[in-house]
Structure 1
Amino acid sequence: MELRERLEELYRKREKLEDRYEEVGRLLYGFRSKKFLRSVLLYLVDLQGEFGEDRHFRDLIRSIVHSLKHENIEERKNYTPKELLHLYDEEVD
């Protein structure tokens, strides 16, 4: 019984982390400048030795590179709905 409860707790934590990953991804790709994305990419390249085999990590790098190559991020920022412009503990006025 205790093992089942622990597994359920871990499953809930994993779901929360996946939700946060998706939300952070939307914010990164949709609402940040190219300069910011370049700095994130450089940091992620440094971490590649540690997380390079992780599918989510590879997807994150691939998405950032795609955004830098193909997306007009600066233009999209102008059309971002105000309710989507937020950080985890701060609302943007």
Structure 2
Amino acid sequence: MAQSIILSLVDTDQRTVEEKAREVGADILQQYRHLATRLRQQAWHEFAGIGSASDPTERASRRCAFQLYTTAASELDEIIADLRGDPDHPGSG
């Protein structure tokens, strides 16, 4: 099995493989960005609900959700920066 995979890689046009890898990488970055945007939108939705919530438990729950969504979006930003090789972003390199 491994030998057939190695042979199939040897018989490929490396430029075609690299181009496909670039396309997939760009698609992944786009999806990460989209997800980070959706997470931030959800975070602000939760944040907006804090002020209108009269129940302290609901306010605490919304604040917690806001923090979780923003943390997840920030972590995606770090992943995106790492994948792009952004040297100015903390955590890349």
Q: TM-score range by the shorter chain?
A: 0.3 to 0.5
Larger Cα-atom Rg: 2
Task: Give the TM-score normalised by structure 2.
Answer: 0.40
